[in-house]
Amino acid sequence: MYLESFRHLIEVEALKAQNQNELGLIAKENKRISDLERLRATKIQELETLEQNFGSLKLTEKQLEIETFNAKLKRMKSQMDLVTSQKEQQALEGQIALLEKELQVQEENYFLNLERSEEIEQEKEDHNQFIAGSLATINSIGSEVEITVKKHQERIHQNNLRIHSLFEQIDKSLAGIYQSIEKKFPPPLRAVAYLVDKKCSQCHMLQDSMLKLSLEEGRSIETCQTCGRLLIPETAKIY
């Protein structure tokens, strides 16, 4: 009396497995976008750091300092014409030499920072290109992903309609038992197992021989004595 219902259950299980697969495909589609968004967020953050690094080079300030030094040096050199004693001249020459040395250090420092700033500019440019390019990609694949996701959702919807109509044809007590066992085996676990060679196809434990006969003739509803799954007789596989 239960064989027909078991047949329907087999179909229900197959449809549920299909749904699981569809959900996996939806997740995979959405991941195309989320992966790119994550990468994009990282690049935006890195760009901020690059901006900060660029700012900390203080190029304009350093350039102004050098200009100030140069002006000071020029002024000192012009004072050379006004010195009256040799002692005064020596003192001024000493000051000039010191200033020139300091200026040299500052200029070297400035050029190093200038080089670094050019590298940062290049990195910023690369980042900006990625940020803009990835946005364009997200937009262009966005609608493609949306269409694909909808297609998978539609299949799930159709499967669920079929599952619903199958349940209306399944024996009520069998459906009730199946649904209560199902709660203990959330997807991707399976709530059902086949009785194959007196063994549960899921946990492989040997079942009672009396059970096998009545189950295969569709006279009883049985669960695996070990794992508790609903047992489906192999006889129900034959259409």
Number of residues that bind Zn ion (CB under 5 A): 6
Q: How far apart are CA 199 and CA 186, in angstroms?
A: 22
Site string for Zn ion, 153-192 (x = CB under 5 A): ----------------------------------------
Q: Which stretch binds Zn ion (CB under 5 A): 58-66, 78-86, 152-160, 224-232?
A: 224-232
Q: How far apart are CA 167 and CA 25, in angstroms?
A: 26
Name which position in 15, 191, 195, 200 contacts Zn ion (CB under 5 A): 200
Element (DSSP H or E) covering residue 200: strand 199-200
Closer of 26 and 200 to Zn ion (Cβ) = 200
Name which position in 161, 203, 206, 213 contacts Zn ion (CB under 5 A): 203
- Measured over the CA atoms of residue 224, residue 214, residue 176 and residue 5, the dihedral's sign is positive
215 near Zn ion (CB under 5 A): no
Q: Which stretch binds Zn ion (CB under 5 A): 62-70, 124-132, 150-158, 193-201?
A: 193-201
- DSSP letter for 82, please: G
227 near Zn ion (CB under 5 A): yes
| Pairing state between β 199-200 and 192-196 | antiparallel
CA angle 37, 42, 45 (to 5 degrees): 125
Q: Which residues are near Zn ion by CB under 5 A?
A: 200, 202-203, 224, 226-227
